[in-house]
Amino acid sequence: MAAIQDHAYLKLCAELASYLSISLSSARKKVELAALKNGGKDLEARKEMAIRLVQEAKSLSSGKDGSVAKQFDVLLAALAEEENFMVED
């Protein structure tokens, strides 16, 4: 299936990708899956879903816990007892 090339849709997906710190293709897939889950198959339904997801991501990043990227950085931080743990030989 060819990718949708609508400029406004791509801009919304890029904004979502930026807020969530994910790739553009992952953001587009997220929007498409959410739109399909709600029964929308056309471009307008995907744009509406992208707008809704961007608004949700904005509210998460402006919340008391900070951005999604900051939360992810906190989760990836190594604990003191795990710093010298080797996964491989």
Residue 73: per-residue pLDDT: 72
Instruction: Read off the pTM.
Output: 0.68
The rounded distance, in Å, linking the Cα atoms of 78 and 48 is 39
Residue 19: per-residue pLDDT: 86
Residue 76: per-residue pLDDT: 73
Residue 20: per-residue pLDDT: 84
CA distances from 10 to 27, 29, 53, 86 (A): 10, 12, 14, 41
pLDDT along the chain (89 residues), means of 10: 75 91 91 91 91 89 66 70 65
